[in-house]
Amino acid sequence: MPTQANFSSLDGLHTFPRLLFHHAKTRPDAPAMREKSLGIWQTWSWADVADRVRALACGLAALGFKRGDNLAIIGDNRPHLYMMMTAAQCLGGVPVPLYQDAVANEMLFVLQDAGVRFVVVEDQEQVDKMLEVKDQVTTLEQIVYDDPRGMRHYNQVFLHDIHELMEMGRIHDRNHPDFLNTEVEKGHFDDVSVMLYTSGTTGKPKGVCQTHAAFIAAAQGGVQVDKMTADGDILSYLPMAWVGDHLFSFAQAMVAGFTINCPESAETVMTDLREIGPTYYFAPPRVFESLLTSVMIRMEDAGQIKQKLFHHFMAVAKRCGGDILDGKPVAAADRFQYWLGNLLIYGPLRNVLGMSRIKVAYTAGAAIGPELFAFYRSIGINLKQLYGQTETCAYVCLQPDGQVKSDTVGAPAPGVEIKIADNGEVLVKGPMLLKEYYKRPDATAETINPEGWFMTGDAGFIDEDGHLKIIDRAKDVGKLANGAMFAPNYIENKLKFFQHIKEAVCFGHDRAEVCAFINIDVGAVGNWAERRNIAYSGYADLAGKAQVLELIKTCIEEVNASLAHDAMVADSQIHRFLVLHKELDPDDDELTRTRKVRRNFIAEKYKVLIDALYEGKTNQYIETEVKFEDGRRGKVAADLKIIDVKTFPVARKAA
Amino acid sequence: MSRQIGDVILDLQSISLRFGGVKALTDISFDIREHEVRAIIGPNGAGKSSMLNVINGVYHPQDGKILYRGVERKKMEPHMAASTGIARTFQNIALFKGMSVLDNIMTGRTLKMKSNLLLQALWFGPAQKEELEHRRKVEEIIDFLEIQHIRKTPVGRLPYGLQKRVDLGRALAMEPQILLLDEPMAGMNVEEKQDMCRFILDVNDQFGTTIVLIEHDMGVVMDISDRVVVLDYGKKIGDGLPDEVRANPEVIKAYLGAGH
């Protein structure tokens, strides 16, 4: 079990309730939370929040909530739900946020596993889910709801309006004025502060128990690296059950004392973003991507002059924007151009995106395309990446200002130690590690090795600047015949960043060299072909065109060139490829429903093609059965050309 | 449901409506009780929309009496119906396409605005206070109908299903006692229909609004109405609880067709 014994904190503020009451005492009128209600942003000061948390905690106690009880929290990001987290912590209970869009049956496991007695939910929809499973969750006693809409006809005695709970709490507080302070005093930094369930893509979800000390340490580290101050704003719109939201909107807000802003509804997030203009922002790569796409589409509709201006200054930004942000030397002429561009283009653009005030923006969760990443940085938005998982409070690596690279996840965060195991797996140690998996000592023992290292399951390496580079899931990483590491996902991601390539599957485990299957992106390549007057009838036809193959070949050569720069993966350059005659499809079991490649299945199904690639043939005939969406079956046949690709000499030999 | 269905609020007695030689409605009598959901069904051309138009004063029947809360209603204009608490939505959405959702719903408050035009234009004194009050009401409706995300979007840019919802919002802004809905679910997909049903029932339940609706989707009608009246060729051929109407052989023959 990891130890937090060396944990020490200023002023004894080592639990979240103490932090909250500290803010309420020292800066009572500063805004703590905002929520848009009936079209107007309503603000709660730290004193208001502390007052409500006090009432809620006493209310919970009056209902019989005890030290060690788990409180399930289900709903969109609402101030009252965040307050409930602290309320439970005041009493030594553990908040367990659940994903609000799950159906009742998916929640059942977590509710049973956590032995939940108390649930607080957002609205009628969630109440209905709870009523549906109440019989099966034998421990469940009380349900509290935030939004009374539609609840008039529910007369079950175990249902409570949150305002009713606060009223009960205030009475309880008057009758036992010392009760809450004593309870807060009992709180210890090594107590579990929150339980976050892992998504459970492999097997059943597991409850990750994190202590106050762990989350406070993680939050302090992040606050320190990004110099976050109490006057910041964050838009809290990602699921409360997700570790990132808990870190940014709860732990860091408590530590740094900045304001969290809850959007009006899931659909209004973009509007709310513009209205709030957060200083601190987090979004997964796909959000940044769709924002960029919408900008580009609207620019196409703009007038000639605007388009010219836009493209001119975007070129300037591409040339020097990133360097200016990183504080690197830039020629005076470029600096002037950038200043002008900032006035005319970048500033207004940031404003439209709601990012005018952003000091730090983070993305994580998936690989982000280098172009996309560079775009935001070039227009002056300090977009960075971080790396972490539920088990590490989403706090392992951060990109410090001035050392941002698109292909690494940054340097180890303050207090975190990183080691790469012999099989390439990333091992992590630090104060932010989980205490345990709830009621699963077996799982805890499996993921934390005897020396106290947490095994992330990700494969990666540390580059020359000391930054961690994640390449793949450890279990997918193989070895080439010469013993060099082979990380298929890493290469495939590089390929997929080209707009012309939709899917790629690389092979190379136990082989002398790497070969690839490619799926072209019909939209992008089709458009490319049309502009060159290349006629085609459909995917298979387009995929077989000599010009298209030449196009893909240049893409792959670029990837090879970039792989050659990296000693660790230089041997994984692609030697030969073919463009598949059909698109990989979940209906044919080639992709999962979340569109991940099912590598082994594909290897089996297209064995002839793989053999042909490695035998050095120039073409191969194949016939494949396909399922159409209406359930009919058909056959596609093609004679696929196999193309050799130029490889590059390795820049530096692997040690 | 615990909502109490009250006394007769609107009583239509022997209504006949003719356009020249065409008999749109012939000797139709039925009543509407307070807080109920009352459906009018019938094949195309049965006279359903004419019936609604009679209720809110667009058409004036040649024969028959209309008692509103026990008092016989004189010949009246639509705005008079509106000021007595009858609101409606239209089969073909009647919104201002170029105006935002917020402004469209605000138009539903017109009848409630008391201060004079000049003060309103100057945004001064009582007019300012009044508008804030109306805006709050409108925001409550926006919240109720879950259309916060399109508050400032021009109505013309919205998909059909949402326009229908805005239309409902505009009618609700009047805080009506009787809400007439002319095919609120026409042209919607299943999900939009479910949403609309939920909103109609919520309106009925939370505000106690009496609802009169015309609808073609039999599933919807049978599910959400308390009582159903059936018209065919301008005549009433059935009236009663959904199950009674469904079992009525004449209704089956006229409306549902022989095959059902």
**Is this prediction's ipTM beyond 0.90?**
no
Per-residue pLDDT, B2: 46
Per-residue pLDDT, A653: 46
Q: Give the gap in angstroms from C-alpha B140 to the nearest C-alpha of chain A.
A: 6
Q: Is the pLDDT of residue A640 over 80?
A: yes
B118-133 pLDDT, tens per residue? 777 777 777 888 888 8
Q: Report chain A's mean pLDDT, rounded to a whole number.
A: 89
Residues of chain B with Cβ-Cβ distance to A267 below 8 Å are 148-149
Q: Would you state the structure tokens that stand for residue A133, as one six-digit string?
A: 């499973």
Q: Would you state the structure tokens that stand for residue B46, as one six-digit string?
A: 């049965």
Q: Which residues does A24 contact at the CB level (< 8 Å), separation at least 6?
A: A46, A47, A49, A50, A51
A251-276 pLDDT, tens per residue? 999 999 999 999 998 888 888 999 99
Q: Is the pLDDT of residue B72 over 80?
A: yes
Verify whether the Cβ–Cβ distance B206 to A271 is below 8 Å: no
Count of CB pairs separated by less than 8 Å, A with B: 33
B100 versus B43: which is more confidently predicted?
Answer: B100
A257 versus B44: which is more confidently predicted?
Answer: A257
Residue B77 at interface with chain A, using a CB cutoff of 8 Å: no
Q: Is the pLDDT of residue A575 over 90?
A: yes
Per-residue pLDDT, A43: 96
Q: Which residues does A585 contact at the CB level (< 8 Å), separation at least 6?
A: A591, A626, A627
Predicted model pTM: 0.82
Residues of chain B with Cβ-Cβ distance to A149 below 8 Å are 144
Check if the beta carbon of residue B176 is closer than 8 Å to that of residue B146: no
Residue B182, strand partner residues: B214
Long-range contacts of A10-15 (CB under 8 A, 24+ apart): A14/A189, A14/A212, A14/A213, A14/A216, A15/A89, A15/A184, A15/A187, A15/A188, A15/A189, A15/A191, A15/A193, A15/A212, A15/A216
Residues A458-465 have a mean pLDDT of: 88
Residue B225's pLDDT band (cuts 50, 70, 90): very high
Question: Which of B148, B202, B205 lies at the smallest CB-CB distance from A264?
Answer: B148
A134-177 pLDDT, tens per residue? 999 999 999 999 999 888 889 999 999 999 999 999 999 999 99
Q: Measure the CA–CA gap between B204 and B211, rounded to whole angstroms.
A: 7
Residues B167-181 have a mean pLDDT of: 93
Verify whether the Cβ–Cβ distance B149 to A39 is below 8 Å: no
Residue A201's pLDDT band (cuts 50, 70, 90): low
Verify whether the Cβ–Cβ distance A153 to B2 is below 8 Å: yes
Chain B residue at shortest CA distance from A38: B139
Residues of chain A with Cβ-Cβ distance to B148 below 8 Å are 36, 39, 264-265, 267-268
Q: Give the gap in angstroms from C-alpha B78 to the nearest C-alpha of chain A.
A: 31
